[in-house]
């Protein structure tokens, strides 16, 4: 599997991912959008208004959810692009809240360790695989508001 699918295939995969995400009630409530993928990074966006806390900044749970979903979506997208059906779960994660965010939530996720070819090969061979994904939510002027590291597990559907 190539790390970057042809443009037409990528558009189909992203549309399929958008459809899947729309089935998740939290995604609808948070008003999350898939912006796209570039340079191996998947980007999601959510407006501040439905994700605000009592201080007028982004709610920590929304930041955590957005980054977790970005990691899940990236692993799910890679499997789909390889023509594989799997259920992807977050196995564990850690977060760091670095600065308050008073603007829209823009998250990006990328593979932190290993490569996607090994992930796909392992999944095909064993019917399960895991990957380590990193994500962050950026501040409007640059820098990071929040960082995420998580391990995701893909299991073959039975």
Question: Cα separation of 140 and 88, whole Å?
Answer: 31
Is residue 25 assigned to a domain?
yes
pTM of the model: 0.91
- Return the axis-axis angle of helices 60-81 and 7-22, rounded to nearest 10°: 130
Q: Which pLDDT belongs to residue 2? A: 42
DSSP string, 2-26: -SS--HHHHHHHHHHHHHHHHTSHH
Is residue 1 assigned to a domain?
no
CATH of the domain at 131: 3.10.129.10
- Which one is predicted more confidently, 32 or 6? 32
**Domains in the chain, number:** 1
Residue range 81-109: mean pLDDT, rounded = 97
**Taking 70 as the threshold, does the pLDDT of residue 56 lie above it?**
yes
Segment 122-145, tens digit of pLDDT:
999 999 999 999 999 999 988 999
Is residue 115 assigned to a domain?
yes
Residue range 116-123: mean pLDDT, rounded = 98
Q: Which pLDDT belongs to residue 13? A: 87
Is residue 121 assigned to a domain?
yes
Q: Which pLDDT belongs to residue 133? A: 98
**Taking 60 as the threshold, does the pLDDT of residue 8 lie above it?**
no
* H or E element at residue 71: helix 60-81
pLDDT band at 1 (very low <50, low <70, confident <90, very high): very low
Is residue 2 assigned to a domain?
no
In which domain, by residue range, is 131 found?
Answer: 7-156
Is residue 76 assigned to a domain?
yes
Cross-strand partners of 45: 33, 106
Q: Are 55 and 81 in contact (CB under 8 A)?
A: no
**Taking 50 as the threshold, does the pLDDT of residue 42 lie above it?**
yes
């Amino acid at each position: 599997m190539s790390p970057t699918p042809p443009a037409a295939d990528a558009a189909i995969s992203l549309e399929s991912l958008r459809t899947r995400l729309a089935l998740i009630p939290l995604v609808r409530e948070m008003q999350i959008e898939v912006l796209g993928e570039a340079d191996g990074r998947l980007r999601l966006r959510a407006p501040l208004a439905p994700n605000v806390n009592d201080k007028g900044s982004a709610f920590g749970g929304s930041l955590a959810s957005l980054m977790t979903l970005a990691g899940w979506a990236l692993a799910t997208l890679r499997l789909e692009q390889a023509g594989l059906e799997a259920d992807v779960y977050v196995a564990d994660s850690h977060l760091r809240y670095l600065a308050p965010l008073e603007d829209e939530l823009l998250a990006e996720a990328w593979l932190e360790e290993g490569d996607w070819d090994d992930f796909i090969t392992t999944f095909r061979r064993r019917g399960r695989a895991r990957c380590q994904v990193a994500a962050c939510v950026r501040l409007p002027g640059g820098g990071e508001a929040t960082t995420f590291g998580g391990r995701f597990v893909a299991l073959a559907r039975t």
